[in-house]
Amino acid sequence: MPGEGAHNASLMFVGEGPGFNEDRQGRPFVGAAGQYLNELLHSIGLKREDVFITNMVKCRPPNNRDPYPGEINACSGYLNAQIETIRPAVIVPLGRHALARWFPRDSISKVRARPRTFNGITVFPLYHPAAALHNGALRATIEADFAKLGALLKERESPGANAVSDTPDEADNSQQLSMF
């Protein structure tokens, strides 16, 4: 399941791997987490067709287990090729597995919604939307983080017209969220 979206997208989302529904349909983020991702995109004025959505691993790990390092490694060439082909300006790793592709030593709870440049691309990590489905207390955090992503994109379009805050918010969900 390679991923889908605009081939000239300036924004790319990278999730973990296909789940049951994605595996059946051959499309990323079409299950419950995908519905929520659609809503989050909508909240910042975007549709799925505007962005490119893919995953770290291209095949479904059995029973939705975490992907093994060897599986992530085996799929990395595909992801690298997607990044080189689409050349997004901003990449959003969703959750800790995708975060590790760029910043393996960081924890998602600490670096979420903090933009950093990597090989000329702005990397803006966010919690995985499934995290909010497992833990409703996180919804507000993810929604606020998405709003920051929206502000960052606006700032890229018209620099100086919008104030972008890089101040982390006060919520500390690191304990509850270690699994994401």
Could you tell me which stretch among 14-22, 101-109, 147-155, 169-177 binds ligand URA (CB under 6 A)? Answer: 14-22
Residue span 62-91 as binding mask against ligand URA, x where in contact by CB under 6 A, dash where not: ------------------------------
SS3 160: coil
Comparing CB distances to ligand URA, the nearer of 33 and 40 is 33
Q: How many CA atoms lie within 13 A of 3 on its CB side?
A: 27
The stretch near ligand URA (CB under 6 A) out of 25-33, 101-109, 113-121, 146-154 is 25-33
- Of the candidates 5, 11, 13, 17, which one interacts with ligand URA according to CB under 6 A? 17
User: Residue 129: which of 156, 149, 115 has the closest Cα?
Assistant: 149
Q: Using CB under 6 A, which of 5, 9, 12, 19 touches ligand URA?
A: 19
Figure out which of the listed residues 5, 12, 29, 90 binds ligand URA, where binding follows CB under 6 A.
29
Q: Mask: binding to ligand URA, 95-134, rule CB under 6 A, as x and -?
A: -----------------------------------x----
Q: Site residues (CB under 6 A) for ligand URA?
A: 15-19, 22, 28-29, 31, 33-34, 55, 130
